[in-house]
Amino acid sequence: MGNSINHKVAVLGGGSFGTVIANIIAANGHAVSLWVRNDVLSGQNAAYLPGYKLDSNVTVSADLEGSVQDCGCVIFAVPSSAFRQIARQISGYLKKGTTVISTAKGIENATFLLPSQVLQEELSQCEIGVISGPNIAKEIADGQITATVVASDNDAFCSEVQELLVSSNFRVYTNHDQFGVELAGALKNIYAIVSGITDAIGAGQNTKSVVLTRSLAEMNRFASELGANPMTFLGLSGIGDLYVTCTSPLSRNFRVGVAIGQGRTLEQAIDDVGQVAEGINTTKLVKEKADELGVYMPLASALYATLFEERPIKESLSAMMLSEQNMDVDFMVKSND
């Protein structure tokens, strides 16, 4: 997929990230069909990105099947909970070898599958990969320099996606650890909620640094148990995405944490944010899986107790901060000596 050739691309999901991804691809000269579930947008996405104009190469449609027909690439930018249903709806319209990209950062409830694994089950005729990283849509829309990771063990797939998305302000790096990249994107949402809570209660920079680094250690410990490469978590999809999501007021999961830290109930916090915060569901699923596998995750466990067992925040924070002391770094490069 070179920029010298025009391609037809479908972006499924009219949220903020789907909109900016559609615009980047369209600005690179490709025809983009942006599928939205309800209202057809008129020139801009006023609900999520007011004032951000859609490129003339973007066509907005509420016709799902029509949007993906004859597309060489389909990008899923809907919540992970919708992946399986939508994939089943469009399966018969996608040709063998169609490039399919997941951008979601969640885990399926019943199966503990990541979004791309769901797509692999439902769209087995397609080439599946993911993009993930510190990608706050509002900043991308504002022209801020941003980088992301395309993950697949297929080098040709990675090159195709790079050519579709690379622009002067949007850089695309590659990684063969698709599982690790995607799992990092899901896990960091848990710790963004924790970080929002600590911010709301007025924690100092020392405390915030403890939360950030122990969050990374916890993510790495859990992901390595499941087979991910621990080195992946030192890159954009790991520490990069974790930092952004744990510090930015534009992060939905961080804002949920802030609301909870201010004394709001979980339901009130969700209403305050007004958008899907994947970290809530991910906290429940990961805590249960960690218990099953015997993986030590004190931050996730304490957050679970606050969200789902009505433990007071002060008790949870105490449990987080006073948990068993362990090694600072779980994975060390071995000396040649």
| Residue pLDDT, tens place only, 91-135 | 999 999 999 999 999 999 999 999 999 999 999 999 999 999 999
CATH 3.40.50.720 segments of the chain: 8-176
Asked whether the predicted pLDDT for residue 86 surpasses 50, the reply is yes
Q: Is 22 helix (H, G, I), strand (E, B) or coil?
A: helix
Instruction: Specify the DSSP class assigned to residue 131.
Output: E
For residue 179 the two structure tokens come to 């599982």
pLDDT > 70? residue 138: yes
Residue 274 banded pLDDT, cuts 50, 70, 90: confident
CATH 3.40.50.720 corresponds to the domain 8-176 = yes
- Residue 4 pLDDT exceeds 50: no
pLDDT at 37: 83
Residue 332 has pLDDT above 90, yes or no: no
Q: Is-contact 223 230, C-beta < 8 A?
A: yes
From the candidates 8, 53, 188, 284, give the one annotated as an active-site residue. Answer: 188
Is 188 a residue of the active site? yes
**How far, CA to CA in Å, does 310 sit from each of 63, 191, 261, 305, 314?**
42, 18, 13, 6, 11
CATH 1.10.1040.10 placement within the chain: 180-321
Residue range 180-321 in CATH 3.40.80.10 = no
130's tokens:
């993911």
Residue with tokens 């949870």: 316
Q: Average pLDDT of the chain?
A: 90
User: pLDDT at residue 39 above 50?
Assistant: yes
